[in-house]
């Protein structure tokens, strides 16, 4: 059983570089269920959940949308594991081919899709945002704003507006009282 942090370490060690925010998004979008939830809210995943995440990340980098990914990773577990074994065999064959020296190969190109770049950019942006949020102490920030007088000017404007409203309310109260006095003789005439 793996906690989210363990899943993240496992994915990163297998060259699936994502952060906790991306992991949580993938779990929600691809409907990957935890196998256990502790009383404190900690959720745990099994090897099949990790395989689903790997497959989903691979499909995401190939341009598949979340619906397609969700459909493919929720195939029967044996189909998913068979696909994973075929991919592992392909990778090991590819690694062996790379290890074999080929003098005619001099240039190597790396095919990076826009989706892969977008996913990396989103992960980096999320990481930067989280770091900034963690490093700003909001109480010190608010104190600096108050000291700088940002709120003083607004408070003065609001105080003037409140004073005007109070004066208007007093005028309205006098006018209502005056109208009530004027209507009393009218009501007396009607009910007499």
Integer Cα distance of 27 and 8 in angstroms: 12
Contact between residue 43 and residue 34 where contact means Cβ atoms under 8 Å apart: yes
**What pLDDT, on a 0 to 100 scale, did the predictor assign at position 108?**
55
Least confident of 70-74, 117-121, 130-134, 140-144: 140-144
Task: Give, in order, the Cα–Cα distances in Å from 7 to each of 1, 27, 109.
Answer: 9, 11, 31
Coil vs helix vs strand at 81: helix
Q: Identify the helix (H) or strand (E) that includes residue 44.
A: strand 43-44
**What pLDDT, on a 0 to 100 scale, did the predictor assign at position 163?**
85
**What pLDDT, on a 0 to 100 scale, did the predictor assign at position 25?**
92
- Candidates 59, 49, 57; CA nearest to 18 is 57
- Candidates 30, 31, 52, 41; CA nearest to 3 is 41
Task: Give, in order, the Cα–Cα distances in Å from 49 to each of 32, 78, 87.
Answer: 6, 13, 17
Q: Identify the helix (H) or strand (E) that includes residue 185.
A: helix 150-191
Contact between residue 19 and residue 48 where contact means Cβ atoms under 8 Å apart: no
**What pLDDT, on a 0 to 100 scale, did the predictor assign at position 1?**
85
pTM above 0.85, yes or no: no
Contact between residue 81 and residue 51 where contact means Cβ atoms under 8 Å apart: yes
Higher pLDDT, 34 or 152: 34
- Candidates 6, 5, 35; CA nearest to 20 is 5
Integer Cα distance of 137 and 143 in angstroms: 10
**What pLDDT, on a 0 to 100 scale, did the predictor assign at position 187?**
55
Mean pLDDT of 155-168: 85
Find the farthest-apart pair of alpha carbons in the chain and give their distance in angstroms, rounded: 120
pLDDT, tens only, 38-70: 889 888 999 888 889 999 998 988 999 988 888
pLDDT confidence bin for 6, thresholds 50/70/90: very high
183 pLDDT more than 80: no
Least confident of 28-32, 93-97, 133-137, 142-146: 142-146
pLDDT, tens only, 77-116: 666 566 666 666 666 666 666 666 555 555 655 555 666 6
Report the chain's mean pLDDT, rounded to a whole number: 76
Integer Cα distance of 29 and 31 in angstroms: 6
Q: ∠135-136-142 over CA atoms, to 5°?
A: 165
């Amino acid at each position: 059983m793996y906690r989210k942090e363990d899943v993240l370490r496992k994915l990163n060690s297998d060259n699936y570089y994502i952060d906790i925010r991306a992991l949580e998004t993938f779990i929600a979008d691809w409907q990957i269920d935890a196998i256990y939830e502790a009383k404190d809210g900690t959720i745990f995943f099994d090897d099949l959940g990790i395989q689903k995440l790997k497959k989903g990340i691979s499909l995401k980098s190939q341009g598949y949308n979340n619906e397609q990914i969700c459909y493919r990773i929720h195939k029967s577990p044996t189909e998913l594991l068979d696909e994973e074994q075929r991919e592992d065999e392909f990778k090991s064959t590819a690694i062996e081919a790379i290890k074999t020296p080929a003098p005619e190969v001099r240039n190597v190109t790396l095919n990076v899709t826009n989706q892969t770049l977008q996913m990396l950019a989103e992960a980096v942006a999320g990481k930067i945002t989280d770091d900034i949020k963690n490093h700003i102490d909001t109480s010190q920030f608010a104190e600096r704003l108050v000291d700088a007088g940002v709120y003083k000017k607004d408070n003065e404007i609001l105080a003037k507006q409140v004073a005007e409203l109070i004066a208007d309310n007093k005028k309205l109260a006098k006018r209502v009282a005056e109208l009530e006095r004027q209507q009393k003789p009218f009501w007396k005439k009607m009910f007499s």
